[in-house]
């Protein structure tokens, strides 16, 4: 048999493995450093948390962070990142540590958890030219699968679904739906597993839009957080996440109780403190929120913490602005809170260039400081990747850019376009109402100058349609068509409404 045939057969075997190398993780070069840094931070947090858990005799306080195999999984994922960064020796060392950690944690029960690590080792050895060792690791995986067969060829082991899910969850928000599906498959096989229930709850929490109006039925994320807490009743992170969700259902008493309990469980836990700080900010308890965030920042220069601090200071600025005080002292205080917000947003973006919400707010604040060039550069950056964001972030970007065009560059046409775009995303009711208000103001000003202004009626048609008042929307679009008979946007909207 030729060497080429041997290599083809080996490559064919490798492609059948469950591994970071076969999960189609598409990374841009500029993201690797950020991801590697975040995984390094996760590992340090996991190791510190497990040391505390060992002393306290408790498990699960930080979702996956409290799981004994979490460090091993992080080693494995970081090894793949190091391989992509052309650091094969470091990648090999990390995978060997992953194997060692899994054996230490699970002993005789570690075999199924080694499927992914051995798959990674097989691929790494192949890429570094050691085909003999690559074959050896392929065989180890095959031996494990023969000893622990899955229910069918179409079903993976729950441990593999779990590691795959955590990888997707840590990798990128665009992979969150895949993480949800993998956690769901793992739970079908092991419905009472702590790690899978926690991960599924976190994934739903991150992807589910916040509900800003009272609903009778609790959301899937809330239901899963409750389920996870049944299995892990002392998990302070899950408690703080559930409290944030309940805030939007106006279940304040239960949410306050969860926050108090979470702080008792993890008074120094970074995740708990951050979530509680967000909770306090949303209740407009800004000084208490800032105090907690600054406490976290003393030991953890986190982009997310800087972002949250900026949001607190920006809220202080807004609150002061709403007081309508226009004396010199108030102007100085406004400037003070704006500069603090800018300072922390710049820190956040420098630590993590993918924080789109932070970039967007920073652009608006630059505009308020009359730095229009830097503001436009940031808006160009976030608008270029608009379609990759969650709807809530897209709505915020569109609304913010509309305000920038309306108030800072006098591009009213563009402002109208982006306010309308923001209306397409209905998950955040407050943002939607804000955009409707701005559009109505623009339309009313135009009608004050010309009662037959087609653009104004087109705007009012879009507002009415977003409100669900289809008959009123059709009336406005009819007037818009009468004023601008060749306008395809108005004709299309009117035809759609008439069909409905």
In order along its 500 residues, the chain shows pLDDT tens digits of: 456 788 899 999 999 999 999 999 987 645 777 788 778 777 766 655 554 443 333 333 334 444 667 888 889 999 999 999 999 999 999 999 999 999 998 888 899 999 999 999 999 999 999 999 999 999 999 999 999 998 777 789 999 999 999 999 999 888 999 999 999 999 999 999 999 999 999 999 998 876 544 566 889 999 999 999 999 999 999 999 999 999 988 899 999 999 999 999 999 888 899 999 999 999 999 999 999 999 999 888 889 999 999 999 999 999 988 886 667 888 899 999 999 999 999 999 998 888 999 999 999 999 999 999 999 999 999 999 898 888 888 999 999 999 999 999 999 999 999 999 998 876 667 788 899 999 999 999 999 999 999 999 999 999 999 888 999 999 998 999 999 888 888 899 889 888 87
Neighbour-count burial of 392, counting CB atoms closer than 10 A to its CB (0-12 exposed, 13-18 middle, 19+ buried):
middle
* Interatomic CA distance for residues 449 and 250, integer angstroms: 44
**pLDDT computed for residue 39 by the predictor:** 81
Tokens 């060039």 belong to 373
Assign domain 208-283 to its CATH architecture: Alpha Horseshoe (1.25)
Report the phi/psi class of residue 86: left, alpha or beta, with left for phi > 0 and alpha for psi in -120 to 50.
left
Q: 256: closest CA among 269, 246, 266?
A: 246
- 3-149 topology per CATH: 1.25.40
Looking at residue 2, what is its pLDDT? 54
CB 67 within 8 A of CB 231: no
For residues 133 and 130, what is the distance between their CA atoms, to the nearest angstrom? 6
Residue 53's pLDDT is 41
What pLDDT does residue 173 have? 84
Which residues in the chain are classed under CATH 1.25.40.10?
Answer: 3-149
Q: Give which of 364, 359, 356, 357 is closest to 338, Cα–Cα.
A: 364
pTM of the model: 0.85
pLDDT value of residue 65: 45
């Amino acid at each position: 048999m030729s060497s080429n045939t041997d290599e083809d057969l080996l490559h064919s075997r490798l492609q059948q493995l469950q591994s970071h190398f076969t999960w189609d993780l598409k990374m841009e070069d500029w993201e690797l450093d950020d991801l590697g840094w975040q995984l390094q931070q996760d590992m340090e947090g996991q190791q510190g948390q497990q040391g505390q858990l060992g002393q306290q005799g408790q498990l699960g306080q930080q979702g996956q962070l409290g799981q004994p195999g979490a460090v091993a999984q992080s080693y494995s994922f970081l090894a793949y990142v190091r391989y992509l960064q052309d650091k094969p020796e470091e990648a090999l060392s990390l995978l060997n540590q992953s194997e060692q950690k899994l054996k230490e944690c699970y002993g005789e029960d570690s075999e199924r958890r080694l499927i992914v690590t051995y798959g990674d080792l097989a691929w790494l050895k192949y890429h570094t030219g050691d085909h003999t060792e690559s074959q050896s690791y392929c065989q180890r995986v095959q031996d494990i699968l023969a000893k622990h067969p899955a229910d069918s060829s179409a079903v993976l082991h729950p441990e593999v679904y779990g590691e795959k899910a955590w990888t997707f969850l840590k990798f990128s928000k665009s992979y969150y739906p895949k993480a949800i599906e993998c956690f769901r498959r793992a739970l079908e096989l092991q419905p009472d597993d702590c790690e899978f229930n926690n991960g599924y709850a976190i994934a739903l929490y991150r992807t589910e839009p916040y509900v800003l109006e009272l609903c009778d039925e609790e959301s899937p994320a809330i239901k899963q957080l409750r389920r996870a807490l049944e299995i892990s009743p002392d998990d302070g992170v899950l408690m703080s996440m559930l409290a944030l969700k309940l805030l939007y259902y106006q279940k304040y008493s239960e949410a306050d109780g969860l926050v108090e309990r979470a702080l008792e469980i993890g008074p120094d836990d970074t995740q708990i403190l951050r979530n509680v700080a967000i909770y306090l900010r949303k209740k407009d308890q800004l000084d208490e929120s800032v105090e907690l965030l600054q406490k976290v920042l003393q030991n953890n220069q986190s982009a997310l913490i800087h972002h949250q601090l900026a949001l607190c200071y920006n809220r202080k600025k807004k609150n002061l602005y709403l007081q309508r005080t226009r004396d010199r002292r108030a102007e100085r205080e406004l400037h003070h809170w704006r500069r603090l917000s800018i300072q922390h947003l710049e820190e956040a973006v420098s630590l993590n260039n993918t924080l789109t919400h932070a970039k967007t707010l920073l652009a608006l604040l630059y505009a308020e400081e009359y730095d229009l060039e830097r503001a436009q550069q940031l808006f160009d950056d976030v608008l270029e990747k608009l379609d990759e964001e969650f709807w809530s972030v897209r709505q915020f970007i569109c609304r913010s850019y509309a305000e920038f065009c309306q108030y800072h560059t006098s591009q009213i046409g563009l402002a109208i376009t982006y306010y309308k775009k923001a209306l397409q995303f209905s998950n955040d009711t407050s943002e939607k109402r804000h955009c409707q208000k701005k559009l109505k103001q623009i339309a009313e000003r135009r009608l004050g100058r010309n009662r037959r202004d087609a653009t104004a009626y087109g705007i009012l048609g879009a507002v009415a349609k977003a409100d669900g008042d289809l008959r009123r929307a059709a009336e406005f679009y009819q007037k818009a068509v009468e004023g601008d008979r060749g306008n395809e946007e108005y004709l299309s909207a009117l035809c759609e409404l008439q069909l409905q």
